[in-house]
Amino acid sequence: MHKILILKFSALGDVVHTLPVAATLRKSLPDSHISWMVEERFQDILQGNPDIDEVIPLRTKVWRKNWNAKSLKEILDTIKVLRQHKFDLVLDLHGLFKSSIIARLSGAPTRVGFHRKNCKEKLSTLFTNKRAPYMAGGLHVVDMNLTVLQTALSKVEETKVFPLQVPDEADKKIAHFFDQHPDLTTRPIIAINPGAGFVSKQWELDRFAELADHISKELGYSIMLTWGPGEEFKVQQISTNMQQQNWIAPPTSILESIALYKRMALLVSCDSGPLHLGAAVGIPTVSIFGPTDPVRNGAYGMNHATVYKVLSCSFCWKKTCPLGTKECMNQVTVDEVFETVKQQTKKLS
């Protein structure tokens, strides 16, 4: 029996994009034992996944903030757990120095990762001993991850599925919210998620408010404003600036968010974890991209549309705009996004 470890710690969208690796492993090596090491705060997304035998939580964020004897013991215990598994194969799907060190500490004889030029931190190749061929632009990260797996096993039966399980408790909480807001469900619902992982990926909140009003008034949809930790002020501001009736989603865990998005007709979002959750559960999306490349990191699959501008500085991947203007996001107009939403909704009827 093969014992395989997947290293993909974060963030939410990146974990979603790695799900086909586990599904392909299960299909290709059905008797293998598949473990996945993931940041503790994202482990729920792997709950009940039929392709994963074990989730190994990691607490690097906690360790960095609280560097003490307790943290050191946790780190040493984690290394001990890795060693005890006696993994045959580790897939480093980060290309980071920390992920490659963990791959090496696992003691696995085969440690496969990205080509040096595809690694975020090139020193990570010091600790992998088998690497995928160089992948030029134009390839989605889902397919890049599967290329690493192809490198590890030579022949695999690619299975591009995104199994996301919703426990009854999470589904019931969302169902209760809908029961409490009967007016919300009189029309199909479009979700608008204004958040993003860093500032340069965010579209202006007043534009989201204007867009939401157009969608509600001209297309006849209810508007649900969704948000994640620390983002409630954004949806409250959008709601306040809107003329049309709207609803703010309740606080949700990752699993409750999945249950929520499953009830949506469409999702409008920037490049964010919720965008990829929505795509994974099969709802159409319209996304607004700026510093990140939608070809590599956009919503994966069919029925997705992206609005973006190609400038001389695209795609910089910087967390703060080097120009100080967020030009790539600001050039995307409300009318352009609305027209894209309009075209997407025509496919729903």
- The predicted-structure confidence for 160-201, as pLDDT tens digits, reads as follows 999 999 999 999 999 999 999 999 999 999 999 999 989 999
Same domain, 91 and 224: no
Residue 221 located in a structural domain = yes
Same domain, 89 and 218: no
Q: For residues 297 and 218, give the distance between their C-alpha atoms in angstroms, rounded to a whole number.
A: 31
Considering only CA atoms, which of 34, 37, 47, 49 is closest in space to residue 10? 37
Same domain, 77 and 184: no
Give the total number of structural domains in the chain.
2
State the pLDDT at residue 75.
75
State the pLDDT at residue 154.
84
Task: List pLDDT tens digits, range 251-288.
Answer: 999 999 999 999 999 999 999 999 999 999 999 999 99
Q: Give the residue from 124, 153, 182 where a domain finishes.
A: 153
Tokens of 184: 């919300």
Residue 161 located in a structural domain = no
CATH of the domain at 23: 3.40.50.2000
Tokens of 144: 């890049």
Q: For residues 349 and 347, give the distance between their C-alpha atoms in angstroms, rounded to a whole number.
A: 6
State the pLDDT at residue 73.
79
AA letter at 344: Q
Same domain, 205 and 287: yes
Task: List pLDDT tens digits, range 305-319.
Answer: 999 999 999 899 999
State the pLDDT at residue 66.
72
The beta strands (E) that lie in the chain are given as 3-7, 33-39, 54-58, 89-92, 110-113, 130-131, 189-193, 222-225, 247-248, 266-270, 285-288, 304-307
Mean pLDDT value of segment 71-83: 81
Q: Which domain holds residue 149?
A: 3-153
Same domain, 340 and 263: yes
Same domain, 140 and 179: no
Residue 158 located in a structural domain = no
Does pLDDT of 68 surpass 80? Answer: no
Same domain, 36 and 94: yes
Same domain, 338 and 226: yes
State the pLDDT at residue 155.
85
Residue 160 located in a structural domain = no
Phi and psi angles of residue 49, each rounded to the nearest 5 degrees, phi first: -70, 125
Same domain, 277 and 314: yes
Contact 164, 37 (CB under 8 A): no
Q: Give the residue from 95, 122, 153 where a domain finishes.
A: 153
Residue 9 located in a structural domain = yes
Q: For residues 254 and 191, give the distance between their C-alpha atoms in angstroms, rounded to a whole number.
A: 16
Residue 159 located in a structural domain = no
Task: List pLDDT tens digits, range 194-229.
Answer: 999 899 999 999 999 999 999 999 999 999 999 999
Considering only CA atoms, which of 63, 98, 104 is closest in space to residue 83? 104
Q: For residues 177 and 69, give the distance between their C-alpha atoms in angstroms, rounded to a whole number.
A: 44
Q: Give the residue from 153, 187, 202 where a domain finishes.
A: 153
Q: Sort 238 into a burial class: Cβ within 10 Å, 0-12 / 13-18 / 19+.
A: buried
Tokens of 20: 């086909």
Same domain, 139 and 28: yes
Predicted structure pTM score: 0.95
Contact 279, 303 (CB under 8 A): no
Does pLDDT of 85 surpass 80? Answer: yes
State the pLDDT at residue 70.
74
Same domain, 106 and 202: no
Greater confidence, 81 or 147? 147
Residue 130 located in a structural domain = yes
Residue 67 located in a structural domain = yes
Task: List pLDDT tens digits, range 8-48.
Answer: 999 999 999 999 999 999 999 999 999 999 999 999 999 99
Contact 292, 309 (CB under 8 A): no
How confident is residue 59, by pLDDT bands cut at 50, 70 and 90? confident
Q: Is 64 helix (H, G, I), strand (E, B) or coil?
A: helix
Same domain, 288 and 321: yes
Tokens of 134: 């160089």
